[in-house]
Amino acid sequence: MTDEAQGSPAGNAGDASVLGKNRRKPLLLGLGAAVIGVAVLYGAYDVFIGSRSVSTDNAYVGGDNAQVTPLTSGRVVEVLVTDTQPVKKGQLLFRIEDADQRIALEQAEAELASAQRTYGQSLANNRALGASADASDAQIASAKAKLASAQATLTKAQADYGRRAALVGSGAVSAEDLTTAREALASAKAAEGEARAMLAQMEAAAVSARRQEDASVAITQGTTLSTAPQIRQAQAKVDQAKLDLERTIVRAPIDGVIAKRAIQVGQKVQAGNVAMTVVPVGQLYVDANFKETQLGNVRPGQKATLTSDFYGSKVKYHGKVIGFAGGTGAAFALIPAQNATGNWIKVVQRLPVRIELDPKELQEHPLRIGLSMDAEVELTDAD
């Protein structure tokens, strides 16, 4: 009894050891089958589902911000917006003191009026010089007539003197008559010379008058009150002054939300300095940084589904791929990576892919620049 009682536990232990070995093999086979099944399922998922899309959680909202910069210098007299305030395109943002611009506009308008009067005076001067030239031409005709008369008188005086001189020897003409005829001839010659000189003077005066007229007309020739160079120059100054005056009122260039307001009332701003930024929340996009190993089949036009950490997975955005960045983030870093070293380790790079968002969905669920996104691109779909 004692030996039997003492042997029973040993026998039970042996049976348990044998039973454990018998169970170990099925368990190992089951575990191996489970691993193979998981591998098959993963492979099937990768082939039939995973290969149809690529995804990343390294994605962020971006947008083309509009920087508001005054185009004229001056003191800020009114600011009508603040950070986070929505604005519409054309809405008044702030005003700059416009006293200097108004004075400049009045001066430019005065210069324009003066130029218009000067142009009118030039036209009147042209007409006066033309009339003077016409008068000179008329005087030439009169001088020619006087010369012809003087020449006729000279011819008659020469004939009279010749007849009397021929009769002096016969005593038919007295010495007094001959002297009178000689004096008449001399007087006729003098009158003819004077008439010829007067004609030359009139012709020279007419030429001078025409040249003065031509010089005056050349300034206004082919122009009108609106096309004359001096008028256009003065008008340009007026337009510039008006533009400077309009630029004292600064309006929103696009729809969006005000950010980074950097001006206060009373502050003097300089032309070109950024006063604030308008973020176009209705025209945002996503830059998704995919691994280079994921991009082999990504093409512009492929559809994308996105979720934001801001709203969670309950809100989905839909968009499409519109392009790829020109290089990786490392390539455009301030200090690019230097891989030409002996201790180089290959690191998978990421390339930004730009995804356009649906404006209607953005309007329903607004986003802000810099928010994190999860992006998934459907590789089987492209426009």
- Residue range 79-101, pLDDT digits in tens: 999 999 999 999 999 999 999 99
Same domain, 175 and 79: no
Same domain, 87 and 174: no
Same domain, 74 and 162: no
Residue 371 lies in a domain: no
Residue 350 lies in a domain: no
pLDDT tens for each residue of the chain, 383 residues long: 444 444 445 445 445 554 455 666 677 777 778 888 777 776 665 555 556 889 999 999 999 999 999 999 999 999 999 999 999 999 999 999 999 999 999 999 999 999 999 888 888 888 887 887 787 778 888 888 888 888 888 888 888 878 777 776 676 767 777 788 788 888 888 988 888 888 888 888 888 878 887 787 877 778 888 888 899 999 999 999 999 999 999 999 999 999 999 999 999 999 999 999 999 988 899 999 999 999 988 999 999 999 999 999 899 999 999 999 988 877 777 777 667 666 777 888 899 999 999 999 998 999 999 999 999 999 876 55
- Whether the CA torsion 312, 88, 102, 117 is positive or negative: it is positive
Count helices and strands (H / E) in the chain: 5, 14
CATH number at residue 83: 2.40.50.100
Residue 324 lies in a domain: no
340 DSSP assignment: -
Residue 339 lies in a domain: no
The size of the chain, in residues, is: 383
Residue 191 lies in a domain: yes
Same domain, 139 and 217: yes
| pLDDT score, position 210 | 80
Contact (CB, 8 A) for 350 and 294: no
Of 261, 279, 297, the position where a domain reaches its end is 279
Same domain, 206 and 142: yes
Q: How far apart are CA 325 and CA 285, in angstroms?
A: 13
Q: Token pair 């001056």 is at which residue?
A: 74
**303's tokens:** 């559809």
CATH number at residue 146: 1.10.287.620
Same domain, 269 and 169: no
pTM for the structure as a whole: 0.63
Residue 154 lies in a domain: yes
Contact (CB, 8 A) for 289 and 329: yes
Residue 89 lies in a domain: yes
Same domain, 275 and 172: no
Same domain, 237 and 105: yes
Contact (CB, 8 A) for 376 and 49: no
Same domain, 86 and 174: no
Same domain, 106 and 233: yes
Residue 357 lies in a domain: no
Which domain covers residue 198, as residue numbers?
Answer: 101-243
Q: How far apart are CA 191 and CA 151, in angstroms?
A: 8
Domain count, the chain: 2
321 closest CA partner among 294, 297, 350, 301: 301
Same domain, 107 and 239: yes
Same domain, 143 and 213: yes
Q: How far apart are CA 27 and CA 19, in angstroms?
A: 13
